[in-house]
């Protein structure tokens, strides 16, 4: 069955520190992978996506993610976190038919 | 380019009442989705339209939820009658046909008391 696991419910980092949010997926076919960010009271904004090719993908706001097929993972990283990055982050997997499966999200708190 | 529009942004109703949400997708996007996001959870797909036809409604509670997409553009999602457990944010998203990125609206926060 298709599913996405985000092991960390909540993460706290200091401003300027590096960040890594974990995502593991289960999908029967070639996955399309996504990271979305959701600020309070807002909809979801696409940060980056992976369809094929280079396994390291760059997104907006200085984020990147690496697809590791052997580990069924698609972890999100940022070298230096800004206070404005505080939000909820969702990993999603999709495929043919466009149906997405979302993880339960990771809440990021940034402390000054 | 205008994004996905949703209204209302907030709605409070009593249980057993009915409610309707409206969504206007990005112009030219053939695929439209309705999601339910309960607090502390990721979005769950309720229904997916391709133009004005239903592609997937397997997770839509059809005894109380209904959705339509007239003329393949705007869509409405209705709940009748509402239950306490329907309290959630209802998100609308759209995508180009054959393209996998989904673009989300701001959502409607429903509180059922």
**pLDDT tens across A72-110, in order?**
999 999 999 999 999 999 999 987 665 778 999 999 999
For an interface test with A, give the residue of B34, B43, B89 to mutate (most A CBs within 10 A): B43
Alpha-carbon separation of residue A87 from A36, A38, B29, B55, B103 (angstroms): 10, 6, 27, 32, 18
pLDDT at B23 over 80: yes
Residue A97 DSSP label: T
Q: Which of residues 53-112 of A touch B (CB under 8 A)?
A: 90, 92, 94, 97-100, 102-105
Q: Nearest by CB to A104, which of B42, B55, B109? A: B42
A52 at B interface, C-beta within 8 A = no
Q: Which residue of A has its CA nearest to B36?
A: A102
For every residue of B46-89, DSSP letters joined together read EEEEETTEEEE-TTS-TTTEEEE-GGGS-EEEEESS--GGG-EE
Quick one: pLDDT at residue B98? 63
Q: Angle CA(B89)–CA(B3)–CA(A66) in degrees, nearest 5?
A: 80
CB contact (8 A) between residue A99 and residue B56: yes
Q: What is the pLDDT of residues A31-76, one digit of tens each?
A: 899 999 999 878 899 999 998 888 999 999 999 999 999 999 999 9
CA distance B78 to A67: 39
Burial of A34 (0-12, 13-18, 19+ CB in 10 A): buried
Between B35 and A95, whose confidence is greater?
B35
Rounded Cα–Cα distance for residues B7 and B76 (Å): 10
Q: Is the per-residue pLDDT at A15 higher than 80?
A: yes
Q: What integer pLDDT is reported at residue A96 of this predicted model?
A: 64
Contact with chain A for residue B13, Cβ under 8 A: no
């Amino acid at each position: 069955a298709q599913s996405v696991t985000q092991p960390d419910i909540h993460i706290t980092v200091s401003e300027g520190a590096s960040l890594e949010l974990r995502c593991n997926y289960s999908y029967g076919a070639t996955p399309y992978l996504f990271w979305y960010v959701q600020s309070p009271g807002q909809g979801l904004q696409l940060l980056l996506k992976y369809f094929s090719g280079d396994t390291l993908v760059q997104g907006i706001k200085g984020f990147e993610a690496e697809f590791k097929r052997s580990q069924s993972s698609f972890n999100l990283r940022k070298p230096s976190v800004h206070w404005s990055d505080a939000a909820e982050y969702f990993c999603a997997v999709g495929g043919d038919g466009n149906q997405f499966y979302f993880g339960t999200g990771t809440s990021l708190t940034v402390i000054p | 380019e205008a994004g996905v529009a949703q209204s209302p942004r907030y709605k409070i109703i009593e249980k057993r009442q009915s409610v309707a949400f409206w969504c206007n997708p990005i112009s030219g996007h053939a695929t439209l989705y309705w999601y339910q996001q309960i607090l502390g959870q990721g979005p769950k797909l309720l229904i997916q339209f391709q133009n004005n036809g239903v592609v997937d409604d397997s997770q839509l509670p059809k005894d109380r939820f209904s959705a339509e997409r007239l003329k393949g553009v705007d869509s409405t999602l209705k709940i009748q009658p509402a239950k306490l457990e329907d309290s959630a944010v209802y998100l609308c998203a759209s995508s180009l046909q054959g393209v996998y990125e989904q673009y989300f609206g701001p959502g409607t926060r429903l509180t059922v008391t």
